[in-house]
């Protein structure tokens, strides 16, 4: 596996950081990854190892306000700017691999962004994959936090609060949780604006699921205590034939970091391979 860095400047002037992991030969496809809340692309290097062994390029970037990208931690001025960032990321990947087909892959917050991007921007992709998408939280957010968020949404949108995520619920592998807690690039911040935009965009995606324009693999751990598996099941029912739903029995939020991670990534790679065969016919 070879690696190189990726970078560009957003439409509102922020420097973005990304990485590209490459197989030895010509790639079968380019998989473009959007990570979850509070984390960064570096936490997916083991996923890259699996996928490059299968002949795929994996590329990803740190969302604004995350990792090595610029911006206030855990904040985005508007949801549309996040959509623009994903669009520009796909353009950067296409410039490096102009002949390769693209798949968009998102986890948690990234899953919310990927599904909304497909529904709202209708990109020219061969398919998309999401895991543990943040359509709805698996827990009831504190009433005081929702009330405060609505009050400061316009008055003080950058106000950041702890995101309240239960770290032990990330993975059944204690080493993954310890590494997450010790990672200096991980943060626990979410702004009032991003928090409410995330909740609203999740509900919007559920309402518009039947408009899904391309093949989607939707995966969720049944033991997820952070984002709702039931919301993923609701989306899949509404989306119909374009959506393939895979519920992983007993797995936690980061299914790619649970002990069954090799099986999870292999399932994803096989689904992508199936889409490529369809496209060749």
Active-site residue among 66, 107, 253, 256?
A: 253
130-146 pLDDT, tens digit per residue, is 999 999 999 776 655 55
Active-site residue among 66, 224, 228, 232?
A: 224
Active-site residue among 108, 131, 201, 232?
A: 108
CATH number for the domain that contains residue 40: 3.40.50.1820
Q: Dump the DSSP string for 37-88.
A: TT--GGGGHHHHHHHHHTT-EEEEEPPTTSTTS-SSTT--S-HHHHHHHHHH
Confidence of residue 157 (pLDDT cuts 50, 70, 90): low
| pLDDT of the residue at 248 | 98
188 is annotated as an active-site residue? no
Three-class SS of residue 5?
strand
Lowest mean pLDDT among 4-18, 77-91, 161-175, 210-224: 161-175
253 is annotated as an active-site residue? yes
Residue 278 or residue 89, greater confidence: 89
Using alpha carbons, select from 150, 118, 75, 121 the residue that is nearest to residue 217.
118
- Which residue in the block uniquely carries the two structure tokens 């032990």? 168
Q: Dump the DSSP string for 222-271.
A: TT-SSB-HHHHHHHHHHHGGGEEEEEETT--S-GGGSTTHHHHHHHHHHH
User: Six-digit token pair at 217?
Assistant: 């693999």
Exposed, middle or buried by CB within 10 Å (0-12, 13-18, 19+), for 5?
A: exposed
- Structural domain total, the chain: 1
Count Cβ atoms below 10 Å from residue 163 Cβ, excluding itself: 18
For residues 64 and 3, what is the distance between their CA atoms, to the nearest angstrom?
22
Residue 39 CB contacts under 8 Å (≥ 6 apart), including other chains: 66, 67, 180, 183, 185, 186
Residue 161 is part of which domain span? Answer: 2-280
224 is annotated as an active-site residue? yes
| pLDDT of the residue at 232 | 98
| pLDDT of the residue at 156 | 54
Mean pLDDT across 204-224: 98
56-89 pLDDT, tens digit per residue, is 999 999 999 999 999 999 999 999 999 999 999 9
Strand order, beta sheet including 30-34: 2-9, 15-22, 57-61, 30-34, 102-107, 127-131, 216-221, 243-248
């Amino acid at each position: 596996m070879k690696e190189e860095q990726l970078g560009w400047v957003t439409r509102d002037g922020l420097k973005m950081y990304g990485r590209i992991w490459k197989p030895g030969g010509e790639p079968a496809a380019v998989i473009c990854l959007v990570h979850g809340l509070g984390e960064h692309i570096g936490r997916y290097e083991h996923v890259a190892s699996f996928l490059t062994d299968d002949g795929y390029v994996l590329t990803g970037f740190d969302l604004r306000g995350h990792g090595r990208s610029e911006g206030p931690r855990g904040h985005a001025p508007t949801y549309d700017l996040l959509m623009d960032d994903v669009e520009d990321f796909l353009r950067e990947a296409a410039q490096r691999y102009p002949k390769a087909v693209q798949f968009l892959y998102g986890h948690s917050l990234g899953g919310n962004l990927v599904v909304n991007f497909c529904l709202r921007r209708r990109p020219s992709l061969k398919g998309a994959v999401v895991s543990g998408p943040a359509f709805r939280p698996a827990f009831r957010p504190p009433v005081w936090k929702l009330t405060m968020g609505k009050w400061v949404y316009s008055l003080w949108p950058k106000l950041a609060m702890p995101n309240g995520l239960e770290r032990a619920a990330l993975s059944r592998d204690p080493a993954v949780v310890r590494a997450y807690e010790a990672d200096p690039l991980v943060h626990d911040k979410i702004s009032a604006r991003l928090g409410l935009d995330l909740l609203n965009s999740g509900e919007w995606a559920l309402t518009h699921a039947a408009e899904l324009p391309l093949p989607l693999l939707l995966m969720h751990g049944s033991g997820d205590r952070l984002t709702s598996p039931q919301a993923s099941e609701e989306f899949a029912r509404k989306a119909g034939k374009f959506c393939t739903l895979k519920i992983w029995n007993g797995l936690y939020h980061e299914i790619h970091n649970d002990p069954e991670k090799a099986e999870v990534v292999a399932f994803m790679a096989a689904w992508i391979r199936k889409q490529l065969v369809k496209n060749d016919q």
